[in-house]
Amino acid sequence: MTPLQRVQEKFQSQIVETHAFRGDETVVVRPGALREIAKFLKEDPQMDFNYLMDLTAVDYLFFAGGRIQKEPRFEVVYHFYSLTHNHRLRVKVPVDEKDPQVDTLTDLWASANWYEREVWDMYGIRFKGHPNLKRILMYEEFKGHALRKDYPFNKRQPLIGPVY
């Protein structure tokens, strides 16, 4: 049984959708169930996802030039990897634009700490329970969140020097 099937079986009601595009098993879960599912992924001996390999977010504002409607606006994407079973799973959590907030996973995987800070920095998604949620790549005075689709790529916010 693949990890995806096991998650599907156990958390039937908490799953929004699943797919395995090009072999990448993906499960989209409800925000409220994230911690419960993450705990299961980490602690269940048949899952044993001891790596939170990557954590990022995607902004679907005007996705495909507005041709494809994606609601809600954000998705937080987790890539898990298991050293013991050598399998991978992608978990996605839809996040609403009005109150962009997800539960933190810092107590389960230490790697979540910096990744969550980066997602906060770039997307303005808060992680409830994060011990030190502050900007990581940008400076504290930076206004806005740079990887959001409504942040122009050529906007300048110099800290020092002439202001255009």
Partner 1 sequence: MLLNVGPSHPAMHGVIRLIMELEGEKIHNVEVEIGYLHRAFEKMCETVTYTQCFPYTDRLNYVSPLINNVGFAMTVEKLLGIDIPERAKYIRVLMSEISRVTDHLTCIGASAMELGAMSAFLYMIKAREFLYELVEEITGARLTISYVRIGGVKADLTAGFADRAFQKIADVRKVLIETDELLTHNRIFFDRMKGTGKISAQDAVSHGITGPFLRGSGVAYDVRKANPYLIYDRLDFEVPTGTDGDNLDRYFVRMAEMEQSLRMIEQCLQQIPDGPIAGDLTGEVITAAHMVDSAKMGETEGLLQDQVDLDPTLQGSTRKYSQGINTDRKDVALPPKEETYGNIEGLMNHFKLVMYGHGIHPPVGEAYVPVEGANGELGFYIVSDGRDHPWRVRVHPPCFPIMSALPKLLAGDMMADLIPTFGSVNMIAGELDR
Rounded CA gap, 103 and 127, in Å?
Answer: 5
Identify the residue among 12, 13, 86, 156 touching partner 1 (CB under 8 A).
86
- Could you give the 3-state DSSP secondary structure of residue 25? coil
By CB under 8 A, is residue 153 in contact with partner 1?
yes
In the bound complex, what is the minimum distance in angstroms from residue 22's beta carbon to partner 1? 5
Single residue of 5, 16, 137, 144 touching partner 1 by CB under 8 A: 137
Candidate list 114, 131, 144, 157; residue touching partner 1; CB under 8 A: 114
* 145: phi then psi, degrees, rounded to nearest 5: -130, 115
Concatenate the DSSP letters of all residues of 46-98 into one string. Answer: TT---EEEEEEEEE-TTGGGGTS--SSSEEEEEEEEETTTTEEEEEEEEE-SS
Query: Given the rule CB under 8 A, which residues bind partner 1?
Result: 21-22, 24, 26, 50-54, 56, 58-59, 63-65, 68, 77, 79, 83, 86, 88, 90, 109-111, 113-114, 122, 135-139, 146-147, 153
